[in-house]
Homo-oligomer: A and B are copies of this chain.
Amino acid sequence: MLAQPHYKNDLSAAINRKDFATVKKLFEHWLPLDLAPILAELPVEELAALFRHTTEEIAASTFAYLQSGAQKKLLRLLHTSQAGALLNALAPDDRTAFLDELPPDVAAQMIALLSPEERQVTQTLLAYPENSVGRMMTLDFVAVRPEWTVRESLDFIRSHGYDRETLNIIYAVDEQGRLIDDVRVRRFLISPPETPVSALLDGNYAHLSPTDDRETALGIFRKYDRIALPVTDDAKRIIGIVTVDDMLDVAAEEATEDIQKLGGSEALDEPYTTISLSRMFRKRAGWLMALFIGEMFTATAMGFFQNEIERVIVLALFVPLVISAGGNAGSQAATLVIRSLALGEFKLRDWWRVMRREIIMGLALGVVLGTVGFLRIEIWAGLGFDYGAHHILLAGTVGIALIGIVLWGSLAGSMLPLLMKKAGFDPAASSAPFVATLVDVTGLIIYFSVAYLIMLR
């Protein structure tokens, strides 16, 4: 993707032959920000060697690009003093993200390496709840005063702004540092130098609270197409900003969590390819066991109908077909509703609209499957399969049961996520397998009840 593909190789070669003069030359003119993603692709061993000879700024922005696994490995390769310097040079939000991944005791050791100021900042950020906006704030922002002119502001930025990553939006604050407005930097570029900043203000800005959930923030970014949003404390003082590039990661992580839960396991919270087998086992075994225990009721339910099965053995043949149809209809409905909820397409109080849709949908789908099921048995019977003398009754049983079960599956699948949310759980936990299990048990009861009414009375 980058302009010079060979660049990385040259770099790697120079590092390996310890030729740091060449490395230095290769770094000329480059912004640490632009180097970081390239360097992040080098093996940690090379990075460790490199970090001993490069500026802290480059080391820090590269470190921020690494996966937490590589970060830990790299820090272990550095001397404590280097590690400390690196940690101190990290942007506060990157540091928080890194410390988050560590066991508390290790994190504490790391924090001990920080300078008093940096330590204080870090502890403030770490004090915010997990997945909150506060955890992902950057403290890098430029604030100007409304009474300044554009020229004064630009001079101020020239003298202070160099290391600000986030100079796309400039914030106007009053003497107490309370946020007055946000101004896109382009307004400064295109306004005559003598314009007072106040003339650029429209008093219209979105802002976040450090305790907001990061999903909330994501929604606001999506809605207002902002590049960055200011974070204000209770006194409306601006204490940091959140940038949209972090939001891309949040979006990916949130989707991954939902998808993994929908698949019927806990969210892994780390890449499938690198998570330890024991941790993955724990994340998967829990749900699998819960589903298994739930599914045991199918054996109990079928036990009740053992005599019916003995009388009409062929009933048993269609058990998997009938109950799985309900499970599939249910997992469709659940997934659609869960995603719709996550995107905020409707509120809990609209549950009735959803239910109405699913009743219609469940009936329609049930009639279709029921008809096909009926025909399947009649045709096979016609072809000479031995479904007993009363195959027409069997066909009717399967057909009618399918209508009821698919309808019930769609209803259960669509309402369960809403109940989950109502009860304060994550709707995504009402996964396809979860709904299927629920519907299997009830489906059996529906199936054999219909069979009893039609064939066995």
- Name A residues whose Cβ lies closer than 8 Å to a Cβ of B: 1-4, 7, 29-31, 33-34, 37-38, 154, 157-158, 161-162, 164, 167-168, 181, 184-186, 188-192, 201-207, 218, 220-227, 244-245, 247-249, 251-252, 255-256, 258-260, 262-265, 268, 271-274, 277, 280-281, 284-285, 287-289, 291-293, 295-296, 298-299, 302-303, 306, 309-310, 313-314, 316-321, 323-325, 327-329, 331-332, 334-340, 343, 345-346, 350, 353-354, 357, 360-361, 364-365, 368-369, 372-373, 376, 385, 406, 431-433, 436-437, 440, 444
Tell me the smallest distance from the CB of A383 to a CB of chain B, in Å: 12
Q: Which of B252, B316, B336 is the one whose CB lies under 8 Å from A316?
A: B316
CA distance A158 to B320 in the complex (A): 71
CA distance A37 to B204 in the complex (A): 11
Per assembly, the copies of the chain total 2
Tell me the smallest distance from the CB of A415 to a CB of chain B, in Å: 14
Q: List 15 A-B contacts (CB under 8 A).
A: A1-B224, A33-B225, A37-B223, A185-B186, A248-B248, A260-B336, A272-B346, A281-B364, A285-B364, A288-B368, A289-B368, A292-B321, A292-B328, A292-B372, A327-B436
A29 touches B321 (CB 8 A): no
Q: Could you tell me the dominant secondary structure of chain A's interface residues? A: helix
A1 touches B264 (CB 8 A): no
A339 touches B259 (CB 8 A): yes
| Residue of B whose beta carbon sits closest to that of A247 | B248
Contacts of A258 in B (CB 8 A): 255, 259
A368 touches B313 (CB 8 A): no
Contacts of A327 in B (CB 8 A): 433, 436
A157 touches B189 (CB 8 A): yes
Contacts of A319 in B (CB 8 A): 316, 319-320
Contacts of A432 in B (CB 8 A): 262-264, 331, 431-433
B186 touches A167 (CB 8 A): yes
Q: Which of B252, B346, B376 is the one whose CB lies under 8 Å from A222?
A: B252
Contacts of A30 in B (CB 8 A): 202, 204
Q: Which of B161, B296, B334, B368 is the one whose CB lies under 8 Å from A285?
A: B368
| Residue of B whose beta carbon sits closest to that of A369 | B292
Contacts of A368 in B (CB 8 A): 285, 288-289
Contacts of A31 in B (CB 8 A): 202
- Other A-B pairs, 5, CB within 8 Å; known A284-B332, A298-B321, A303-B385: A30-B204, A185-B185, A225-B245, A265-B336, A295-B321
Tell me the smallest distance from the CB of A98 to a CB of chain B, in Å: 16
A340 touches B202 (CB 8 A): no
Contacts of A318 in B (CB 8 A): 299
Tell me the smallest distance from the CB of A142 to a CB of chain B, in Å: 9
Q: Which of B164, B252, B284, B361 is the one whose CB lies under 8 Å from A343?
A: B252
Q: With A319-B320, A324-B436, A324-B440 known to touch, is A259 a contact of B268 (CB < 8 Å)?
A: no
B158 touches A189 (CB 8 A): yes
| Residue of B whose beta carbon sits closest to that of A170 | B189
CA distance A406 to B281 in the complex (A): 13
CA distance A245 to B247 in the complex (A): 10
B329 touches A29 (CB 8 A): no
Tell me the smallest distance from the CB of A109 to a CB of chain B, in Å: 29
